[in-house]
Amino acid sequence: MNVAAGPVAILAGSGALPGLIAERLAAAGRPHRILAFRGFAEPALRARADAVVGLLDVKGAVARLDSWRPDCVTLAGGVTRPRAAALLDAYAFLRNRDEIAAVVSGGDDNVLRGVITLLEERGLRLVGVPDIAPELLAEPVVYGARAPSGADRASITAGFALLDAVAPFDIGQAAIVHGRRVLAVEGPEGTDRMLARVRALGGLFLRRERQPGVLVKGPKRGQDLRVDLPAIGPRTIVNAARAGLAGVAVASGLTLVIDRPATVAAADRAGLFLVGIPPRDRMESS
């Protein structure tokens, strides 16, 4: 099994990522097949997919993978967490019902671990963007025209320390910090909704304060980056600007920047900084 060069199966959910990965693999001359999830994968991708299945058609998906025999599989793009009952039904033919129920009642990490185990038991190796398309990850650099100020750097440090503190609780891919005040910790609602919340807070009492907040984003400690990679894109920047933030800081090497040119252009247009923070600058406690 050769992760660096063998054929890859892309299980494609929503968003631009599955297409970006396919592009990278095509550019590298690496064989790949696309299994698109109906109702999630974008139309353009679905049109060039090798197969299209329902998210809960586990049997159909497994049959395709069994016939394609890829070296490795990657899960890319978004899917909505299905209801527990639907998951139970879908996986029932493969697994003991109680065992699945135990997986489903845990955190998102648990569901993912269950899927990984299922794949690996069938001899399929799960890989992620860091393995097959690391060029898509943030680098430890200041992107665009604006750099974080000293105060922004302090907010960034406090933000990553906070994410570290909540990591054991299976939350906290992102937070918004404003000076020494934490304005939001991301829950299952996702980054865009968290930004909308802080935008609403701004109306309450943040308006006109001198130091705007900063969005920090990175993986949770122990997060499996093959299946759950933090990501930002142009929409993140636009929403951060609407929330009145000074900029966005992501963990370099561990965070996807979807459509980098458009993301950097959005930051420049809005006057926000966008910076990749290397591990050495993410570990201090506040």
109, 116 contact by CB (below 8 A): no
Could you say which of 5, 26, 44, 200 contacts a copy of itself (CB under 8 A)? 200
Question: Please, is 229 exposed, middle or buried when counting C-beta atoms within 10 Å of its C-beta (0-12, 13-18, 19+)?
Answer: buried
Count Cβ atoms below 10 Å from residue 113 Cβ, excluding itself. 15
User: By C-beta, is 125 or 197 nearer to a copy of itself?
Assistant: 197
Residue 227: CB minimum distance to a copy of itself, A: 17
Q: Can you point out the beta strands (E) in 101-162? A: 125-126, 142-143
User: By C-beta, is 108 or 139 nearer to a copy of itself?
Assistant: 108
Q: Which two tokens stand for residue 63?
A: 């049959």
Query: Among 51-59, 135-143, 205-213, 269-277, which window interacts with a copy of itself (CB under 8 A)?
Result: 205-213
203 binds a copy of itself (CB under 8 A): no
209, 224 contact by CB (below 8 A): no
20: Cβ contacts below 8 Å, ≥ 6 apart:
133, 136, 258, 259
185 binds a copy of itself (CB under 8 A): yes
Query: Among 14-22, 29-37, 75-83, 228-236, which window interacts with a copy of itself (CB under 8 A)?
Result: 75-83
Query: Among 43-51, 66-74, 79-87, 115-123, which window interacts with a copy of itself (CB under 8 A)?
Result: 79-87
Q: Which two tokens stand for residue 48?
A: 């060039």
Count Cβ atoms below 10 Å from residue 187 Cβ, excluding itself. 13
Q: Are strands 256-257 and 231-232 parallel, antiparallel or unpaired?
A: parallel
> Which residues are 216's β-sheet partners?
175, 249
Query: Among 24-32, 43-51, 74-82, 112-120, which window interacts with a copy of itself (CB under 8 A)?
Result: 74-82
User: By C-beta, is 39 or 188 nearer to a copy of itself?
Assistant: 188
CA distances from 161 to 165, 174, 206, 236, 283 (A): 6, 11, 23, 21, 7
228 binds a copy of itself (CB under 8 A): no
Residue 237: CB minimum distance to a copy of itself, A: 21
Residue 81-100 contact track with a copy of itself, rule CB under 8 A, x = bound: xxxxx---------------
- The interface with a copy of itself within residues 98-157 (CB under 8 A) comprises 105-108, 110
Task: Identify the three-state secondary structure at position 255.
Answer: coil
Query: Among 11-19, 28-36, 174-182, 233-241, which window interacts with a copy of itself (CB under 8 A)?
Result: 174-182
Task: Identify the three-state secondary structure at position 210.
Answer: coil
Give me the residues that bind a copy of itself (CB under 8 A), please: 80-85, 105-108, 110, 158, 161-162, 165-166, 168-171, 179-185, 187-189, 193, 197, 200-201, 204-205, 207-211, 285-286
